[in-house]
Homo-oligomer: A and B are copies of this chain.
Amino acid sequence: MSGERRKFRREGEAARREALISAALDLVAESGPQAATVRAIADRAGVTPGLIRHYFASKGELARAAFRTLMDRLNAISDAAIGDPGMTAEQQLATFVVTSLRPPSVDPEVLTQWAGFIHMIRSDDALRSVHEATYVAYRDRLERLIADLARTNDPARLRAQAIACNAVIDGLWLEGSALPSAFAPDALARIGLASVGAILGVDLFPHAPDDLIQEVDPT
């Protein structure tokens, strides 16, 4: 009667860690960081709270792993957009910009997750390293795409342009994620193409992905 111990299956370490991390990220996305308690995370992952401490030395270490996973996922989205050898440099850059300014990159839940970890950057060295590495990786990819346009080969100018383009994209990402209802579909992507184009002195619209939603002319 009383002692019906819960049945379970032994999953691999990798699967369990991933399940716990995803559960934590889900909870942060839905209800903020304070909702991601040890008990809630375990429940969402389909295990009991004790198991968390079996795979992570502390809740903080789970948080670190979750932040790393979040950054990796974000990087992977825009990474997948480039590298097609059949594309011109302009096409690759335009695709990169558009991908960064659409779902699933632009997403209120992703912003909530990101913001939920940001305060740790100040106090946790490991987390700050992940954050810095992610930023630099993104900016460097952008810088390489800009360099391929061969409009300039002044390294300082190239770097400044990469920082500026990165900032436009980040800013538009931020606003689209924080105010999802304020922008029509692909409006952010079009503004991003125009702004990055203006900064670099290139018209990127002819090289944008075919499925880019054009501005509706309300005539």
Q: Which residues of A contact B (CB under 8 A)?
A: 28, 31-34, 108, 111-112, 114-116, 118-123, 131-132, 135, 160, 163-164, 166-172, 174-175, 178-179, 182, 191-192, 194-195, 198-199, 201
Q: List B contacts of A174 (CB < 8 A).
A: 167, 170-171, 174
**A174–B178 CA distance with the chains assembled, in angstroms:** 14
Please state if A132 and B179 are interface contacts (CB–CB under 8 Å): yes
| Residue from the list B166, B179, B191, B199 in contact with A198, Cβ < 8 A | B199
- Least CB distance, A59 to chain B, in whole angstroms: 11
Instruction: Decide yes or no: A119 and B112 within 8 Å by CB, A179-B132, A191-B163, A199-B195 being known contacts.
Output: yes
Known: A115-B118, A122-B112. A171 touches B178 (CB 8 A): no
Residues on the B chain within 8 Å of A108, using CB: 122
Quick one: given A112-B118, A179-B132, are A164 and B168 in contact (CB under 8 Å)?
yes
Cα distance, A206 to B151, chains bound together (Å) = 25
- For A135, give its contact among B116, B131, B179, B194 (CB under 8 Å): B179
